[in-house]
């Protein structure tokens, strides 16, 4: 029976050591509460010890022959809580070290891309003189909204194209034509 109690106690202590170590390393703020937590465990231990002792005395007075399994005896729990209070007060996690930031690595600023000269401007196009086709104004039909010009035997209105030249205006005795950026006036003879 003693070996069972010892095995249970060792298992509980090992589990508590791992949990307490993890919590103290993860939450450093618990470190300031360590003494208070240990005192609470110690107070519970004393209470459980005395309560278990009192129950054991009553059982002895009743002359009960029933054997009590140790983990259900409050004296056992009192002793366990007293050990847990000591562990809480003195435990120090092995991996509890201030982690220093990694050393700074010099980072080279990105290099600027090489400056590329803009390509040279293309030479201006050669100015080709505009040559109007040979056109002869043969007649005009003047109306208020739709005048017509007879050029080289064909009739044309404003906006029509005559051998590449556009008719821009038809007036009383002349027609204005445009080819490229040049303007030519045909007069009625």
Residue 156 clears pLDDT 90, i.e. is over it? yes
Inform me whether the pLDDT recorded for 168 exceeds 80. yes
**Alpha carbons 36 and 85: distance in angstroms, whole number:** 10
User: Per-residue DSSP letters for the chain?
Assistant: -HHHHHHHHHHHHHHHHHHHHHHHHH-GGGGGGHHHHHHHHHHHHHHHHHHHHHHHHHHHHHT--PPPPGGGSHHHHHHHHHHHHHHHHH---TT--PPPPPPP---PPPPPPPP-PPPPPPPPPP-PPP------EEEEE--SS--EEEETTEEE-TT-EETTEEEEEE-SSEEEEEETTEEEEEE--
Token output for 175: 């027609």
Lowest mean pLDDT among 82-91, 94-103, 117-126, 152-161: 94-103
> Structure pTM?
0.42
Calculate mean pLDDT across residues 144-166. Answer: 89
Top-confidence residue, 180 or 1: 180
68: left (phi over 0), alpha (psi -120 to 50) or beta: beta
Rounded to whole angstroms, how far apart are CA atoms 136 and 13?
Answer: 120
pLDDT digits (tens, 9 = 90+) for 17-57: 777 777 776 777 777 777 888 888 888 888 888 888 888 78
Domain boundaries, the chain: 2-90, 137-187
% of the chain with per-residue pLDDT over 70: 87
């Amino acid at each position: 029976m003693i070996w069972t109690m010892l095995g249970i106690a060792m298992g509980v202590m090992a589990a508590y050591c791992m949990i307490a170590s993890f919590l103290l390393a993860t939450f450093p703020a618990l470190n300031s509460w360590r003494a208070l937590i240990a005192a609470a465990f110690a107070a519970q231990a004393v209470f459980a010890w005395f309560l278990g002792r009192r129950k054991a005395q009553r059982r002895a007075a009743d002359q009960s022959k029933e054997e009590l399994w140790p983990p259900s005896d409050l004296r056992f729990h009192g002793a366990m809580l007293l050990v847990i209070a000591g562990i809480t007060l003195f435990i120090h996690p092995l991996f509890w070290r201030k982690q220093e930031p990694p050393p700074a690595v010099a980072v080279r600023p990105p290099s600027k891309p090489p400056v590329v000269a803009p390509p040279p401007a293309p030479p201006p196009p050669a100015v080709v003189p505009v040559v109007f086709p040979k056109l002869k104004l043969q007649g005009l039909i003047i109306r208020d909204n739709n005048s017509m010009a007879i050029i080289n035997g064909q009739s044309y209105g404003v906006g029509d194209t005559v051998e590449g030249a556009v008719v821009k205006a038809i007036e009383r005795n002349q027609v204005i034509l445009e080819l490229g950026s040049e303007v030519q006036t045909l007069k009625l003879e």
